[in-house]
Amino acid sequence: MGPFDERSADERSLGGQSSGESPELVWYASYGSNTHRDRLAAYIVGGRPEGGTREHPGCRDRRMPAESVPVELPGALYFATVSPVWGGGRAFYDPDAEGRTLAVAHLVTPSQFSDIAAQEMYRRPGAGLDLAGVLTRGRAALGDGRYETLVCAGTLRSRPVLTFTAPWGAGDAPYVPPTAAYLAHLAAGLRESGGWSGERVAAYLAAAGALTRGADGHGADARGTDVNGVDNA
Protein backbone atom coordinates (compact mmCIF):
# COMPACT_ATOMS: atom_id res chain seq x y z
CA MET A 1 0.00 0.00 0.00
CA GLY A 2 1.33 3.45 -0.91
CA PRO A 3 1.57 6.52 1.31
CA PHE A 4 -1.98 7.52 0.46
CA ASP A 5 -5.00 5.34 0.01
CA GLU A 6 -8.25 6.41 -1.67
CA ARG A 7 -11.06 6.22 0.88
CA SER A 8 -14.81 6.73 0.94
CA ALA A 9 -16.49 9.22 3.27
CA ASP A 10 -17.35 6.40 5.69
CA GLU A 11 -13.73 5.27 5.78
CA ARG A 12 -12.63 8.81 6.66
CA SER A 13 -14.80 8.71 9.78
CA LEU A 14 -13.23 7.77 13.08
CA GLY A 15 -14.23 5.18 15.65
CA GLY A 16 -14.74 5.72 19.37
CA GLN A 17 -12.15 6.63 21.95
CA SER A 18 -8.95 4.68 22.54
CA SER A 19 -8.79 1.87 25.09
CA GLY A 20 -6.10 3.80 26.97
CA GLU A 21 -3.43 1.16 26.45
CA SER A 22 0.02 2.30 25.33
CA PRO A 23 0.21 1.69 21.54
CA GLU A 24 3.22 0.83 19.39
CA LEU A 25 1.94 3.15 16.65
CA VAL A 26 -0.43 6.12 16.62
CA TRP A 27 -2.06 8.21 13.94
CA TYR A 28 -0.82 11.79 14.03
CA ALA A 29 -3.70 13.82 12.59
CA SER A 30 -2.35 16.98 10.94
CA TYR A 31 -4.81 19.72 10.05
CA GLY A 32 -2.20 22.37 9.16
CA SER A 33 0.81 22.47 6.87
CA ASN A 34 1.93 18.99 7.97
CA THR A 35 -0.90 17.58 5.89
CA HIS A 36 1.73 17.81 3.15
CA ARG A 37 4.28 14.99 3.36
CA ASP A 38 7.14 17.14 2.06
CA ARG A 39 6.41 19.64 4.84
CA LEU A 40 6.15 16.84 7.38
CA ALA A 41 9.54 15.53 6.23
CA ALA A 42 11.19 18.64 7.68
CA TYR A 43 9.92 17.61 11.10
CA ILE A 44 10.90 13.96 10.69
CA VAL A 45 14.21 13.95 8.79
CA GLY A 46 15.09 17.59 9.49
CA GLY A 47 15.57 20.61 7.29
CA ARG A 48 13.68 23.70 6.18
CA PRO A 49 10.45 23.40 4.18
CA GLU A 50 9.89 25.41 1.03
CA GLY A 51 8.43 28.77 2.02
CA GLY A 52 9.52 28.43 5.64
CA THR A 53 12.23 30.32 7.49
CA ARG A 54 13.24 27.83 10.19
CA GLU A 55 15.50 24.77 10.16
CA HIS A 56 14.01 21.80 12.01
CA PRO A 57 16.23 19.23 13.75
CA GLY A 58 13.96 16.29 12.89
CA CYS A 59 12.89 13.28 14.92
CA ARG A 60 15.06 10.73 16.68
CA ASP A 61 13.39 8.14 14.44
CA ARG A 62 13.75 9.52 10.92
CA ARG A 63 11.56 7.01 9.11
CA MET A 64 8.72 8.59 7.18
CA PRO A 65 5.18 7.37 7.94
CA ALA A 66 4.40 4.03 6.34
CA GLU A 67 0.93 5.30 5.57
CA SER A 68 -0.96 8.60 5.44
CA VAL A 69 -4.73 8.70 5.08
CA PRO A 70 -7.44 11.39 4.89
CA VAL A 71 -9.63 11.73 7.97
CA GLU A 72 -12.32 14.09 9.19
CA LEU A 73 -12.16 15.22 12.81
CA PRO A 74 -15.18 16.48 14.74
CA GLY A 75 -14.62 20.19 15.35
CA ALA A 76 -13.49 23.31 13.50
CA LEU A 77 -10.34 24.75 11.94
CA TYR A 78 -9.36 28.34 12.69
CA PHE A 79 -6.34 30.61 12.26
CA ALA A 80 -4.74 32.63 15.05
CA THR A 81 -1.41 33.95 16.43
CA VAL A 82 1.58 34.75 14.18
CA SER A 83 4.02 32.08 13.07
CA PRO A 84 7.65 33.26 12.85
CA VAL A 85 8.22 30.42 10.39
CA TRP A 86 5.52 31.48 7.92
CA GLY A 87 4.85 35.09 8.90
CA GLY A 88 1.07 34.73 9.25
CA GLY A 89 -1.66 32.93 11.14
CA ARG A 90 -1.27 29.35 12.33
CA ALA A 91 -3.89 26.63 11.99
CA PHE A 92 -5.58 25.47 15.19
CA TYR A 93 -8.21 22.85 15.88
CA ASP A 94 -11.19 23.40 18.18
CA PRO A 95 -12.60 19.95 19.02
CA ASP A 96 -15.56 21.53 20.84
CA ALA A 97 -16.76 23.68 17.94
CA GLU A 98 -19.39 22.70 15.41
CA GLY A 99 -18.15 21.37 12.09
CA ARG A 100 -15.68 18.95 10.56
CA THR A 101 -11.94 19.44 10.24
CA LEU A 102 -10.22 17.91 7.22
CA ALA A 103 -6.94 16.31 8.19
CA VAL A 104 -4.32 13.80 7.10
CA ALA A 105 -3.46 11.07 9.60
CA HIS A 106 0.14 9.88 9.47
CA LEU A 107 1.04 6.53 11.04
CA VAL A 108 3.99 7.23 13.37
CA THR A 109 5.56 5.93 16.56
CA PRO A 110 4.78 7.62 19.90
CA SER A 111 8.35 8.96 19.99
CA GLN A 112 7.90 10.55 16.56
CA PHE A 113 4.62 12.11 17.68
CA SER A 114 6.41 13.49 20.74
CA ASP A 115 9.26 14.91 18.66
CA ILE A 116 6.92 16.53 16.14
CA ALA A 117 4.99 18.16 18.98
CA ALA A 118 8.23 19.42 20.52
CA GLN A 119 9.30 21.03 17.26
CA GLU A 120 5.90 22.71 16.89
CA MET A 121 6.71 24.40 20.21
CA TYR A 122 10.23 25.31 18.95
CA ARG A 123 11.83 22.92 21.42
CA ARG A 124 14.52 20.34 20.88
CA PRO A 125 13.07 16.87 20.34
CA GLY A 126 14.13 14.00 22.55
CA ALA A 127 11.72 13.77 25.48
CA GLY A 128 8.80 11.39 25.14
CA LEU A 129 5.33 12.66 25.98
CA ASP A 130 3.19 10.90 28.57
CA LEU A 131 0.21 9.87 26.43
CA ALA A 132 -1.66 8.07 29.23
CA GLY A 133 -3.91 11.03 29.96
CA VAL A 134 -5.00 11.73 26.40
CA LEU A 135 -5.50 8.02 25.68
CA THR A 136 -7.76 7.50 28.70
CA ARG A 137 -9.61 10.84 28.86
CA GLY A 138 -9.46 12.02 25.24
CA ARG A 139 -7.67 15.24 26.12
CA ALA A 140 -4.63 16.27 28.15
CA ALA A 141 -3.12 19.69 28.82
CA LEU A 142 0.67 19.51 29.00
CA GLY A 143 1.00 23.28 29.49
CA ASP A 144 -0.36 26.64 28.36
CA GLY A 145 1.50 26.67 25.03
CA ARG A 146 -0.17 26.99 21.66
CA TYR A 147 0.23 23.29 20.79
CA GLU A 148 0.44 21.77 24.28
CA THR A 149 -3.13 20.46 24.48
CA LEU A 150 -3.28 16.87 23.25
CA VAL A 151 -6.50 15.55 21.75
CA CYS A 152 -7.52 11.99 20.90
CA ALA A 153 -10.15 12.46 18.20
CA GLY A 154 -11.05 8.77 18.04
CA THR A 155 -9.59 5.61 16.60
CA LEU A 156 -8.75 4.35 13.14
CA ARG A 157 -8.20 0.63 12.67
CA SER A 158 -8.04 0.30 16.44
CA ARG A 159 -5.18 2.80 16.74
CA PRO A 160 -5.63 6.19 18.46
CA VAL A 161 -5.86 9.31 16.30
CA LEU A 162 -3.91 12.03 18.12
CA THR A 163 -3.29 15.68 17.47
CA PHE A 164 -2.36 18.80 19.40
CA THR A 165 -3.83 22.27 19.55
CA ALA A 166 -4.14 25.36 21.73
CA PRO A 167 -5.85 25.46 25.13
CA TRP A 168 -8.22 28.17 23.87
CA GLY A 169 -11.14 27.81 21.47
CA ALA A 170 -11.94 29.31 18.09
CA GLY A 171 -13.94 32.16 19.62
CA ASP A 172 -11.26 33.11 22.13
CA ALA A 173 -8.42 34.23 19.83
CA PRO A 174 -8.33 37.05 17.25
CA TYR A 175 -8.29 35.92 13.64
CA VAL A 176 -4.87 36.17 11.96
CA PRO A 177 -4.76 35.46 8.21
CA PRO A 178 -2.36 32.73 7.08
CA THR A 179 0.22 33.37 4.41
CA ALA A 180 -0.08 32.06 0.87
CA ALA A 181 2.89 29.70 1.36
CA TYR A 182 1.34 28.18 4.48
CA LEU A 183 -2.03 27.72 2.77
CA ALA A 184 -0.35 26.19 -0.26
CA HIS A 185 1.16 23.41 1.88
CA LEU A 186 -2.09 22.85 3.75
CA ALA A 187 -4.26 22.73 0.63
CA ALA A 188 -1.80 20.62 -1.38
CA GLY A 189 -1.57 18.10 1.45
CA LEU A 190 -5.33 17.72 1.66
CA ARG A 191 -5.65 17.30 -2.11
CA GLU A 192 -2.69 14.91 -2.26
CA SER A 193 -4.35 12.65 0.30
CA GLY A 194 -7.01 11.72 -2.25
CA GLY A 195 -9.80 12.31 0.23
CA TRP A 196 -11.33 15.46 -1.24
CA SER A 197 -11.51 17.34 -4.50
CA GLY A 198 -9.75 20.64 -5.02
CA GLU A 199 -13.13 22.37 -5.02
CA ARG A 200 -14.02 20.78 -1.67
CA VAL A 201 -10.69 21.83 -0.15
CA ALA A 202 -11.11 25.41 -1.40
CA ALA A 203 -14.65 25.62 0.01
CA TYR A 204 -13.45 24.21 3.32
CA LEU A 205 -10.65 26.76 3.64
CA ALA A 206 -12.99 29.56 2.61
CA ALA A 207 -15.41 28.54 5.35
CA ALA A 208 -12.52 28.72 7.84
CA GLY A 209 -11.83 32.28 6.70
CA ALA A 210 -8.49 31.41 5.12
CA LEU A 211 -9.26 32.21 1.50
CA THR A 212 -12.03 34.79 1.65
CA ARG A 213 -9.79 36.92 3.88
CA GLY A 214 -6.64 36.25 1.91
CA ALA A 215 -3.13 36.03 3.27
CA ASP A 216 -2.09 39.28 1.60
CA GLY A 217 -5.13 41.17 2.83
CA HIS A 218 -7.42 41.12 -0.20
CA GLY A 219 -10.59 39.15 -0.63
CA ALA A 220 -10.80 36.19 -2.94
CA ASP A 221 -13.27 33.84 -4.55
CA ALA A 222 -12.62 30.28 -3.37
CA ARG A 223 -13.94 28.96 -6.67
CA GLY A 224 -11.08 30.55 -8.63
CA THR A 225 -8.08 28.74 -10.01
CA ASP A 226 -5.58 30.63 -7.87
CA VAL A 227 -6.59 32.02 -4.51
CA ASN A 228 -3.72 33.87 -2.83
CA GLY A 229 -1.24 31.32 -4.11
CA VAL A 230 -3.38 28.20 -3.57
CA ASP A 231 -4.26 26.28 -6.70
CA ASN A 232 -7.83 25.04 -6.41
CA ALA A 233 -7.80 22.90 -9.51
Contact indicator for 190, 201 with CB cutoff of 8 Å: yes
pLDDT of residue 208: 87
Query: Which of 79-83, 84-88, 133-137 shows the lowest mean pLDDT across its residues?
Result: 84-88
Residue bearing the bigger pLDDT, 139 or 51: 139
Output the CA–CA distances (angstroms, integers) from residue 150 to 4, 27, 117, in the order listed: 25, 13, 9
Cα–Cα dist 146/35, whole Å: 18
Does the structure show a pLDDT above 60 at 68? yes
Does the structure show a pLDDT above 60 at 2? no
DSSP secondary structure letter of residue 15: B
200 CB-near residues (< 8 Å, 6+ apart):
none
Cα–Cα dist 33/190, whole Å: 9
Does the structure show a pLDDT above 50 at 34? yes
Q: What is the pTM of this model?
A: 0.81
